[in-house]
Structure 1
Amino acid sequence: MKGFTKIATAVAAALSAVMVLPAAAQDAQDRQEAHGDFYIGANSGFGWLDTDRVAIMDGQVREYEGGTDVFLMGLEAGYRIFDNWELRVSYTDLAADVDDFGSSANGESYGGDLIYNMSPNFYTGLGITRVKLGGYDTKFYKGTFGYRNFIDNNWAFRWEANLQQNETNLTEVMTTVGLQYFFGSTGQETKPTPAPQRAQPRPAPQPAAAPVDSDNDGVPNSRDACPNTPATYSVDEEGCVIYTNETLTETLLVEFEINSSQIRSGATSDIRDMADFMKEHPQLDIVIEGHTDYTGDDDYNQWLSERRAEAVANSLVNNFGIARSRVSSKGYGEQRPKVEGTSAEARQTNRRIEAKLSVTNRVPVIED
């Protein structure tokens, strides 16, 4: 019952911590894709020691007070090695209350964890920690459950509960809250909307004493509103060039392997073609849209589609020289399948990013 009571207490603390998060945390979820891969952090909390644990104080064996009898302050550093896996190391100072004793037992712990991000906010992990406290040096195996929410592109709040047990069945529970700072933010700035340009007035027609057609367009100068038009261009009754609209379109489609946001080597030429099109038309911006197939959890698919869109956006910027302010990305998860069906071919088609740019140019009509 002792281990069960500690686990139940930790779960209750976890629910309380999640319920008191500010409403603004929902807005931070849109920034999850902007964080970097390396982070450092600081944390503080408390814990419950096993009732069988004792301390050696002034040469005597003493028991701890019980309850929330240990206070924690620590530092940590982590690195994301894959899309949803990360490694973390930590160091913690400990102070535990000793029963009927005038001072606390001080100590330290350090260890490492392998963390798995189940969703953009929740994670779990396994690790090993070494605790030096009250004259004893003990190795524990540790299980972790935590919640992380990004405040902005670099700073994140996290809450965490740890259950640790050694080979002699000492079972202890710790809970902490902390702040983490992520290096290498990839957040994008919003490009301001340019002010509309004022239309240039047409030049006044040149007066002529006699019906003279100086530019040989078939309209005399007396009513030619657009003098000096090229002879090969078709003109209207006022002598101005007749234009037609010509639309140019460039489409980008990149497919991905299942559960992967890594761009296939064969897709590089398609991304280069889109980059060349954007360089030819610098007035255009692009939105990269990421999609997944229907397999997997909704939250995971949403997160994976955002990573895919971000991968292609970063390739345009980092590999082909497109300005960051012209490129943005958005994930739709499994909400917008390209084809219906459950076959392997249909799922492959739906694991993709898409982007489409069109530009309409006014071109003069050439006379036959």
Structure 2
Amino acid sequence: MKLKNTLGVVIGSLLASSSLSVLAQGQGAVEVEAFGKRSFTESNRDVTNGNLFGAGVGYYLTDDVSLNLSHGVYESIEADLLPGGSNEKDIDGTLSTVEALYHFGTPGAQSLRPYVSAGVGHQELDNTRTRGQDKTTFAMVGAGAKYYFTEMFFAKAGVDVMHSLDTENTEWQAGVGVGLNFGGSTQQVAQVEAAPEPMPEPMPVEEPAEVVRVELDVKFDFDKAQVKEESYGDIKSLADFMNQYPQTNTTVEGHSDSVGTDAYNQGLSEKRAEAVREVLVNQYGVEGQRVNSAGYGETRPVADNATDSGRAINRRVEAQVEAETN
């Protein structure tokens, strides 16, 4: 039979090509497929529903649009030779189509690409009761999806609605198929082996600068601005750091608790800041222009002034210095 010969050629091509790795999708690609469909006819045509088996070929005008040709042979379709279906006979028939398909999604392996289609088809049925030979031209629209297991091999399922331009009948078909996609711009680009680029000259790697930081917190007795002996060690550590990094500067900030008037506490905080500055400059040798002092009175508490312990924490001088090291 013609059908068996056609399917044999298509299936043989699929098997022979399945081991090729150069197949690809894209503009300029060619697809071949084998399909089977169930055809549902209008009752007034005096023919039964049947199966359509065939093959097709498509050419991709772009990555998404293809032009497809197909030819199929009807099987298991019968015609009523007498009214009422009292005498039935197997008939021969073919359907040839030309369709344009628009694919959604991205080409590639393991990708699902839904599509819509539109085109025309020509059907010929022999030995029908109504005409002897029944020839019909269809306008066709359809939708479906293809799943690409690899760049080349895909399975397909879809539905086509066919409207006869001769008899105004509307019929439809549902089917599945398998196929191969090969050629195309994607494959051509993949086959061009890019020349290796010259290795760039290694650039010297700069180690990121590390930031080092020293903080000072000197506590004072109530209503006093004298630096306590126990605080000299911390002040010396700050001075040593500044002498090690001569680009650094600092501001020592004096604070008080809330006991007393605002004006009195402001003056007391300034005296405390100046006392620490004098130790840094006069005793430990930090240049005077690198050390500033400022008083903030009771405006910046860090603890609760309602308690003795909180007020003791607030009677303080703070300073901080940071520098970058390589």
TM above 0.5: no
Structure number with larger C-alpha Rg: 2
- The structure carrying a bigger strand percent of its residues is 2
TM-score (structure 2 length as normaliser): 0.41
TM-score (structure 1 length as normaliser): 0.37
